[in-house]
Chain A
Amino acid sequence: MTQEERVAQHAGSVSLLRRGWRLPFAAAGQFVLKALVIAELEARKLRHDPSELLTRAVQPALWLLVFGQVFTHIRAIPTGDLPYLDFMAPGILAQSVLFIAIFYGITIIWERDLGIVHKFLVTPTPRAAIVTGKALSAGVRGLSQAVIVYALAAGLGVKIEWNPLALLGVIAIVILGAALFSTFSLIVACLVKTRERFMGIGQVMTMPLFFASNAIYPIAIMPGWLRVIARGNPLTYEVDALRALMLSGGSSTYGLGLDFAVLVVATALLILIAGHLYSKVAI
């Protein structure tokens, strides 16, 4: 191919692209495709070294086996007809997804200290698609936690809903929850830029998110001010939906529709912000 031919071919692909942007469907398709490529990249990394997923299983195991067992016996927390262990199992699922997602942003700092971010940013990939891909891959990691928590909970006698539709719902919520908090973590990483500061802030973020939610006790027993915070915490809606979908006979306090809506809107908003910040991270 001569230089002229390649110029012509290039001009062709650019005009194709312009036409593509006029068709929102083509643009959306392109966006999803690119996000999936980024998710594939992360999945391939995980396949080469899955040990992270196993070490991550320790924490939910401790919560369910130690904390859950003890609090079930002392009946300190009013959970209605639900045994405490059943009440907390969806909360622990949400928690372990949160923990895996909230430190995910540190990979951005790694990639920035190397030159990997730079290389992504010079490709024609939309920034928000890169961020979405990373959020999806956090979702995949979150699903591995779901498998572990389901196994533990079933082993401990939690009455689990095995209806395939409910399981699909759980998968969707887990991916959404992981996407939401990993994107939040990415935003923090883009802002603080060093590993040391990020680790400090990561620790500070996790506990308030967890304790100011309905994960291990109902909002009803909280003092008024904490109740307000918990109602604004997306983790509350994640737990609420999981409680309805994961447990046989479980029910949602706020309604599944609202739960999904809160998670989807919050995730979309965070992805927009993160896409904007991500494009500046190489400077």
Chain B
Amino acid sequence: MEPTTLTYQKVDSDGAVATCTIERLEDGSVYVTGDEFGELIVEFTPDALERAIGHVTDAGYEEG
């Protein structure tokens, strides 16, 4: 599986830009990092990437 890196951003009320990164790794697992919510490890499932994206978008992040 081809590794993929996605970047999501969110603008806080004070104008600061928070960033989080979603990495789909070679075995299909996904590693999410962001200062706001620490880290998220998603083991491989067919929808692992979608679940990770859903997690960060639920937190108000948008792809940027």
Q: Do chains A and B stick together as partners?
A: no
Q: Which residues of A contact B (CB under 8 A)?
A: none
Q: Which residues of B contact A (CB under 8 A)?
A: none
